[in-house]
Structure 1
């Protein structure tokens, strides 16, 4: 794992990112996107304005996974981050998700976010749920039958949350 680098994503990464995105979307198990999602929509999701995306590469070349970091809400909810992650199917189980998750939490703190929220973690995605719990997230809500799983039909989705800083040390809020 020592030859793995995580760096900001760029236009030159998008073909590989699109390939990973399409593999996850085709599985129909973890993301609400459909196979009808256009390349342009995928590009906007990962590399659009106000999106901070990062990629994990092996030896500086092969793209192993990626994440995007954005505010969860506008205005008065802007202090809470939201992130999405995808690991290449050929790299799953190698710890790439954990590396990306740890990097993302550090990056969110560096950018000044005070908390992080995942709005839609599919309940059958047990590897992701286990990882997020190990990294300090808690399930704070269940959305009953909110995800239409390709094989299992309607399954629950979770909202997961983590404070990134002690709320007693958060900045004073203006009215």
Structure 2
């Protein structure tokens, strides 16, 4: 399988919504509780500073995606925030690494100087390992900062990387 990371296209919306909604429905990584319809997905992904899509170059299937946008405004507007989602059946195949690497490059190109993650759930071991491998530093922990789908509260760990 050959994978390219490219810009989101409206024709990706159905598959991208599936990938995004899979993470939302799992209820242990994204803060969102509502899934996206296909029209909402088009609007949401196009409203970001950038949405990158990891696609299988042979089949065109969307395997994962990321959104990139400012973490704040004004004097803190040079800090980006990203969220990553990988289709459940292809996790562990380094799609996330490709997405994170691309997001770092794209953030630089768009004038961001830092990427900050506000809410990496402490129980998300694969994400924590990936971010460590990709050079992110842990900033601190917010005890009980994330409410899981089943109502438990888990710690969140803030991360950042200087680009």
TM over 0.5: yes
* Separation (CA, whole Å) in 2 of partners of 1:12 and 1:78: 30
Tell me the CA shift for residue 47 of structure 1. 2.1
Give how far 1:108 is off.
Answer: 1.1
Once the two structures are TM-superposed, the CA of residue 44 in structure 1 deviates from its matched residue by 3.9
Q: How many residues align?
A: 161
Q: Give the structure with higher Rg (CA).
A: 1
In 2 relative to 1, CA 53–59 (structure 1 residues): closer, same or farther, beyond 3 Å?
Answer: same
What residue is the counterpart of 1:134 in the other structure?
Answer: 133
Structure 1 residue runs of 5 or longer lacking an equivalent are 165-175
Match of 2:105, SS state, is: helix
Q: Is the 8 A contact 2:70 2:81 kept in 1?
A: yes
Query: Partner of 2:17 in structure 1?
Result: 18
1:43, distance to aligned residue in structure 2 (A): 4.2
Q: CA deviation at 1:25?
A: 1.1
Q: Is the 8 A contact 2:137 2:161 kept in 1?
A: yes
What displacement does 1:131 show?
Answer: 0.5
Write the deviation string for residues 83-122 of structure 1: whole angstroms up to 9, x where unpaired: 1100000110000000110111111112221111011111
TM-score of the superposed pair, with normalisation by structure 1: 0.85
* TM-score, L = length of structure 2: 0.91
